[in-house]
Amino acid sequence: MQREIFVRVGPTEIGIGTMENRELVEYLVERADSKHIVGDVYKGVVKAVLPGIQAAFVDIGYEKAGFLHVSDLASAELQQDRVKALEGGDDQSRGRSGGRGRRERNYPPIESMIKKGDEVVVQVTKEPISTKGPRLTGQISMPGKFCVVMPELDYIGISRKILDREERHRLKKIVQRSRPKRHAVIVRTAGEGVAEQQLEDDIQQLCARYDKIAEKAAAQKAPCLLKEEASLVIGLLRDVFNEEVKRLLIDDEEEHRKLVEYVRTFAPELENRIIYYRDNIPIFDRFNVQTELEKSLQRKVWLKKGGYLIFDHTEALVAIDVNTGKYVGRRNQAETILQTNLLAAREVPRQLRLRDIGGIIIIDFIDMEREEDKRKVYNELKRAIRNDRARTKIFEITPLGLIEMSRKRVRPALLHYFSEDCPYCDGRGHILSAESLSTKLENTLRRIATRCPEKKYQVRLNPVLARFVRQERLEILRELQAEHKVELHLLDDPRLHREQQEITALESGRDLLAFVSQ
């Protein structure tokens, strides 16, 4: 697999595109006014303890209080679950764990552990999403290039992706000799084959970094920031820059210098793969990143043979619909459906990574009758998702042809980062039709006419709706006037939303819509 990373440094944001085999598979962005906070460590103040949900809300100086579940405050024995989760998913961005399974354990009452007004040291594990504040944990983890150190725990872990038994034994012996007491250490996949001195240096640096956090926490008043996570580019280098990356191109000379200096600390042999991009053509245009990025914001994604995917975001989940589209196949219907589903099974994981979609995901594949075909599609999806750094879980195809899966979410999806709800339709994607709005107007006028003693009304409508009413519903309004002995004055008002209507009494100026809604 050929992996390349392209970094665009702009005056207001930094964008990072990762390509695998010349296809864009990941895009990360950081803006000056909305920095990512996952991995940041804070000293916060407990604002509320809610026994009913075994959680607390903590003020960390952010605009929204952070959410701290009892599972992230539990004793060292119970926290081993979290360490083991890290051992299996150490290559995620920022090396964090999560998961709902921990909530099923019998934790002690949260009110016995913390109370309102307490000061606690916490780390952000999930960005604020929608109306929710950041997700917090009381168990601090310090990710390095080769290891993750978690103070106040006693555990040694080796990434499950390191399969060689002798290498696992070697790494475990090194960690046993070099780790301080009551410090859990997990060796990341990048630690495979690394010299003993490099591992020891990594562990010592991470422990020293935590000691500084502890000193700062003892000296400062909450809420305050104790440690800021590495920048987006440095964090990416730490997590994914290895022998598989053919090159990293960056279009800023100063940032290029910083990256080279950082890589020299752990992999000087890779220094020549970090290249300063000097061409006049913008870097994202030159390597087709911008075009692919714009496609990732669209609802419809075309597959190679004419099929397509539809992505729909809801509050609780993301639904992906697979369609044959223009693809008619060459043999029979079953083969056409299978080929379309296989293409979708390869494309969906790429889109999930690129769009950074997390949470619950439902994929509606085209119905297949043969169990063999279902198995092929399921296996293809599992194979294609192996390169995803985020932790995923996939369930087999249901009788309705659906695949349910989950993907760890630490930040809002790319679509939400680059867009906002349409102010016209309020994010619904639809507005009421002219026919529906006209019927609503007629019903409202009848209700006013039967309840209001005044008989002259001024009706203000959006010009589009007003034109429709004059062309299609004028006769109905005339009948309404005659039936209720009222006088209507219809006016165009371009300031009004298409669904907005204003009806006032012509003589007194009273708001008649407010009158009938009382």
Q: How does pLDDT run across 481-490, given as a tens digit for each residue? A: 999 999 999 9
pLDDT of amino acid 275? 94
pLDDT of amino acid 347? 95
Q: How far is CA 40 from CA 37, 105, 178, in A?
A: 5, 27, 26
- pTM score of the predicted model: 0.78
pLDDT of amino acid 155? 84
132: β partners: 129
Average pLDDT over residues 353-358: 92
CB 100 within 8 A of CB 135: no
Reply yes or no on whether the pLDDT at 315 is more than 90. no
pLDDT of amino acid 87? 58
Reply yes or no on whether the pLDDT at 403 is more than 90. yes
- The span from the CA of 410 to the CA of 390, in Å, is 9
| Percent of the chain residues topping a pLDDT of 70 | 93
Nearest Cα to Cα of residue 506 among 452, 464, 431, 465: 452
CB 31 within 8 A of CB 12: yes
Average pLDDT over residues 345-372: 93
- Read off the tokens for 191: 């630690």
Q: How does pLDDT run across 422-463, given as a tens digit for each residue? A: 888 887 888 999 999 999 999 999 999 999 899 999 999 999
Reply yes or no on whether the pLDDT at 92 is more than 60. no
Q: How does pLDDT run across 133-168, given as a tens digit for each residue? A: 899 999 899 998 889 999 888 888 998 888 899 999
DSSP class of residue 315? S
pLDDT of amino acid 93? 38
Other C-beta atoms lying within 10 Å of the C-beta of residue 398:
11
pLDDT of amino acid 71? 86
pLDDT of amino acid 5? 94
Instruction: Say how many CA atoms lie within 13 Å of 187 toward its Cβ.
Output: 29
504: β partners: 458, 511
Average pLDDT over residues 298-318: 90
Looking up tokens 């004028």, which residue turns up? Answer: 474
Nearest Cα to Cα of residue 60 among 120, 102, 104: 120
Nearest Cα to Cα of residue 81 among 60, 63, 55, 100: 100
CB 239 within 8 A of CB 389: yes
The pLDDT mean for the chain works out to 87
pLDDT band for 90, please (50, 70, 90 cuts): low
Other C-beta atoms lying within 10 Å of the C-beta of residue 200:
17
pLDDT of amino acid 304? 86
Q: How does pLDDT run across 175-233, given as a tens digit for each residue? A: 999 888 888 999 988 888 889 998 999 999 999 999 999 999 999 998 999 998 878 88
Average pLDDT over residues 370-397: 92
pLDDT of amino acid 75? 53
- Read off the tokens for 473: 């519903």
- The span from the CA of 316 to the CA of 320, in Å, is 13
